[in-house]
Structure 1
Amino acid sequence: MNLLDIKLDRSFDVFDSDRKGQLQRSDVLAVSDRLAESLGVAPDSVAGLRDSLGGLWDTVFHTMDRNGDGAVDRQEHRAAFRARIVSDQNRIWDRIRNLSNAWTALGDRDGDGMLSRDEYTSLLHGMFRLPRQTFDEAFSALDRDGDGQLSRDEISVAMKEYYTSQDHAARGNQFFGRL
C-alpha cells in the first residue's frame, strides 16, 4: 500500500464515526456533534461547521458513492479522492478551506485567529475522538514557523499535503497523527 492510500484510509477512519466501514452523511455530520459535546455547547453553536461538513458531503463525499447505496466504502473513498484531487483541485480545496476555517474559528478560544497547541489538541480530540497525544505530536510537526501557534495557512498547507503528498517527510502527513 502506498503512502497516499495509508493517509486516505486514516482519513476514512476518522470520519467513520459509527465504525461500520462505510461513510454516510450522518457520519460526516457527527463530527460537529462530537465537537459541540466536547466543548460543552449546544449543537447550534457549531452550525457553521455542520453546514461546511454538509457541503463537503454534498459536493465531495456523496459523489464518491459509485454503487448508489447511499454510503461510501473505503475503496470508493480512495478511488474518488484520488480522481477528484487530480480533476477538481480548486473546488475541493475551497471546500476543505471552508471546513478548516469553520473549525478553526470554533477552536480559537482566545480569538487571535490562530490555534495554540491546547486549542488544536482539544479541537481535534473533540471532533475525532483520537487520543490527545496524537494531536499534540501532530501540532509539533505542523507548526512550521515554530511560533507555538497554527495559522490558517499552516493548517491549509498541512491539509493539502495530507491529501496529496507522496513525500514521506511532508509535515502535513501528521495531520491526523503519526502514520
Structure 2
Amino acid sequence: MLGAMASDFQRRKISGVFGAMDHDRDGYLTEADFRALTARWLDLRGTDAGTPGGRRLTGIMMGWWGTLDDAAGGDGKVSVDQVLRVVDELPKMPGAVTGTAEAVFEAVDENGDGVISAAEYHRLITAWNGVETPTDEVFALLDTDGDGRLSREEFTGHWYEFWAGDDPAAPGSRVFGRV
C-alpha cells in the first residue's frame, strides 16, 4: 500500500519553494540550481565560497542537494513530484528532517552566535526566493517566544513543520513566507 499522498496544502507550499529554487526554470532541481541558490546567498552576505563561512554554506547546500538527489533516485534531476514523494516519507524519518534543519540553521546563523536574527532570516528568504522579500511579519510569527531571534529549537521545529507537516495554521508552514 502506498503512503499518504501530499495534501493540496503541502503541494502548494512545496511547489512554491521548488519554483524559487528552480533557477533555470526547467521544471527540475539540479546541482546547478543549488549552486545558483548558494551563489545568491553568498552574494547577499557580501562574501564568496573562498571564505570559511562561504565554504561552510556551500558544503551545507551541496550536501543537501546530494541528499535530495539520492532520495529522489540519484539521476541528477529532481521533479516537484519526486520532492513530494520524499515529503510523504518525512514523517517516518524525523531525524532526517531535523538533521537538515540543524545544517540549515548553521548556514543561516552567519555570526555563529547560536540564534538567527531577523536580518539573517531575511537574507535566507531573499536568497531562496531570488528577489527582495519582506520577512518581518513571518519572522514575528516564527519567533514564538517573542525574544527577537530564532533559537535552534524554534527553527528546527518550524523547519520540520514546513517539510513534514500539513497544518496551514502552524507558524512553521510559513518558514519560506506565505503559502
Same fold (TM over 0.5): yes
Q: Give CA deviations for 1:141-171 in whole Å, capped at 9, x if unaligned.
A: 1010011111121111111111122112100
Query: 1:113 — aligned with what?
Result: 114
Q: CA deviation at 1:174?
A: 0.9
In 2, the alpha carbon distance for the partners of 1:92 and 1:120 equals 19
In 2, the alpha carbon distance for the partners of 1:2 and 1:161 equals 15
Task: Describe the SS at the equivalent of 2:23.
Answer: coil
- Structure 1 runs (4+) deviating above 6 angstroms are none
Task: Describe the SS at the equivalent of 1:132.
Answer: coil
Task: Describe the SS at the equivalent of 2:32.
Answer: helix
Report the aligned-residue RMSD.
2.0
2:102 to 84, 97, 106: 97
Amino acid at match of 1:167: D
> How many residue pairs end up in the alignment?
171
Higher helix share: 1
Q: Per the alignment, do residues 92 and 157 of structure 1 end up closer, same or farther by CA in structure 2, a change over 3 Å counting?
A: closer
Query: 1:32 — aligned with what?
Result: 38
In 1, the alpha carbon distance for the partners of 2:31 and 2:175 equals 22
Identity %: 26
Task: Describe the SS at the equivalent of 2:50.
Answer: helix
Q: Give CA deviations for 1:56-102 in whole Å, capped at 9, x if unaligned.
A: 12222333147x4x31111111112212x04433234313321222x
Q: Give CA deviations for 1:21-67 in whole Å, capped at 9, x if unaligned.
A: 1100121232221111112212223111111122112222333147x
**Contact (CA 8 Å) 1:12, 1:74: kept in 2 or not?**
yes
**Contact (CA 8 Å) 2:21, 2:128: kept in 1 or not?**
no
With normalisation by structure 2, the TM-score equals 0.84
**Contact (CA 8 Å) 1:137, 1:177: kept in 2 or not?**
no
Q: CA deviation at 1:127?
A: 4.1
Amino acid at match of 2:62: G
Task: Describe the SS at the equivalent of 1:41.
Answer: coil
In 2, the alpha carbon distance for the partners of 1:4 and 1:49 equals 27
Is residue 122 from structure 1 mapped to residue 127 from structure 2 by the alignment?
no
**Which stretch has the larger CA shift, 154-163 or 112-121?**
112-121
With normalisation by structure 1, the TM-score equals 0.84
Q: CA deviation at 1:120?
A: 1.6
In 1, the alpha carbon distance for the partners of 2:158 and 2:128 equals 17
Task: Describe the SS at the equivalent of 1:99.
Answer: helix
Amino acid at match of 1:4: Q
